[in-house]
């Protein structure tokens, strides 16, 4: 069905567009901005007056939990959460059960996503078989089955020679490697940032060096092998500086950060709220400032949700014994808008971090509203006040400290390939 999105503020950083105008969709693709294409009549109109119309968000790290423990989530439930948050493409880590180290698992994820029919889920493949850090995974075959990048997640590849062989293989086939940098021996047994708050609470800490040592090793091997490399979910100011210096030396490395690491610090753990138990941990005020500076300077190109749903039981234990991670798909927009409210970013800059920048990192066609591109579109009201509640939350996981928290900015419509896949109850259509 042809569609008209009428009177919204269209923000498309890839094409440097920021203006109030109409947007026409024909046969699932963006047809035109402004005037209707000749001979086109809209079968459906969405009134976007007072709202922002932009490319659908691309989330570089969100766990769907399928295949795996169904009590935590499924592709169906987490896809519903994604489109409610304006996310039309999400990249899932290989830490499913079984691990994404065979074509069968990669194809299963893509098939289940197609069945859900709401959005695009692109799996990352394992860098080593079983994520055990011992043998190379069949990366070329996994790429043929739809894996968009390769990672060992936070699981160790202790042997640097094996890691180098992985990177050499990936470089040969021009595959993107994603590092979620963590030295396993330094992080083992820790549950929060290693600093004065950690000491006062009597919890075991994870030092900054658990991340920075691994960032340094990965940068050196990246430079040696020439692989395309991306650093996901950074948490430390020194990591940002090292990546900045590497980029100044000409290394084509990129990076992202989870929105909660941009907003929160280790001091939030003071109340032992288990929803603040995340990996990488919430770091210091200095680290948070360094991450923000990284976003402003362009060293960090993208912002992601690092969505990790858990069942209630996984979070009902003493802080150190709970499973790390919080949900984030449905709060990605309102939490990101806090960066605009705090005058850290302009709204078009924020939209770029959620759309065209992650598309460029992953070499995706999306993240823009060029005529002829797929009509993956998010419409949101930047001023709408609301609260996420357990009843309204689409994710199977309810684990977030932002549950029942006053939020500002809400997605009202999400379109995928020109089809309306989410509409806020009561939204204009």
- Which active-site residues does the annotation give? 306
> How far are the Cα atoms of 103, 167, 286 from residue 84, in angstroms, in the given order?
30, 37, 33
Length of the chain: 429
Distance CA 303, CA 6 (A): 28
Distance CA 248, CA 179 (A): 19
CB 355 within 8 A of CB 56: yes
Contacts of 180 (CB under 8 A, 6+ apart): 93, 151, 152, 153, 154, 231, 232, 233
Token pair listed for 395: 């994710």
């Amino acid at each position: 069905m042809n569609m008209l999105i009428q009177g919204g503020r269209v923000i498309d950083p890839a094409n440097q567009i920021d203006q109030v105008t109409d947007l026409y969709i024909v046969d699932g693709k963006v047809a035109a901005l402004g005037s209707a294409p000749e001979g086109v009549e809209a079968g459906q109109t969405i009134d976007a007056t007072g709202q922002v119309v932009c490319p659908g968000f691309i989330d570089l790290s969100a766990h769907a939990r399928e295949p795996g423990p169904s009590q935590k989530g499924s592709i169906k439930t987490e896809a519903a959460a994604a489109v409610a948050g304006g996310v039309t493409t999400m990249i899932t880590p290989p830490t499913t059960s079984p691990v994404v180290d065979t074509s069968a698992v990669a194809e299963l994820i893509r098939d289940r996503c197609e069945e859900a029919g709401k959005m695009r889920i692109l799996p990352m493949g394992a860098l080593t078989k079983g994520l055990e850090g011992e043998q190379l995974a069949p990366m070329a075959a996994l790429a043929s089955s739809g894996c968009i990048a390769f990672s060992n997640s936070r699981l160790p590849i202790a042997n640097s020679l094996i890691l180098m062989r992985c990177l050499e293989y990936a470089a040969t086939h021009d595959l993107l490697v994603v590092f979620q940098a963590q030295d396993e021996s330094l992080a083992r047994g820790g549950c929060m940032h290693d600093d004065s708050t950690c000491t006062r609470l009597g919890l075991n800490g994870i030092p900054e060096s658990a991340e920075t040592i691994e960032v340094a090793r990965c940068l050196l091997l990246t430079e040696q092998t020439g692989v395309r490399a991306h650093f996901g979910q950074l948490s430390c100011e020194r990591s940002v500086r090292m990546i900045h210096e590497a980029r100044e030396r000409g290394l084509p490395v990129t990076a992202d950060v989870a929105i909660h690491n941009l907003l929160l610090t280790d001091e939030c753990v003071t109340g032992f709220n288990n929803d603040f138990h995340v990996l990488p941990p919430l770091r210091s005020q200095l680290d948070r400032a360094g991450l923000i500076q990284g976003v402003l300077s362009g060293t960090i190109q993208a912002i992601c949700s690092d969505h990790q749903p858990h069942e209630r039981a996984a979070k009902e234990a003493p802080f150190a014994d709970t499973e790390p991670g919080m949900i984030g798909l449905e709060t990605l927009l309102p939490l990101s808008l806090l960066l605009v409210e705090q005058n850290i970013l302009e709204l078009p800059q924020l939209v770029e971090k959620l759309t065209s920048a992650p598309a460029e990192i992953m070499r995706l066609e999306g993240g823009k509203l060029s005529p002829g591109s797929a009509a993956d579109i998010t419409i949101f009201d930047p001023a709408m006040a609301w609260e996420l509640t357990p009843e309204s939350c689409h994710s199977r996981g309810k684990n977030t400290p932002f549950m029942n928290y006053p939020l500002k900015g809400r997605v009202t419509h999400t379109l995928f390939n020109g089809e309306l896949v989410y509409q806020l109850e009561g939204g204009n259509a």
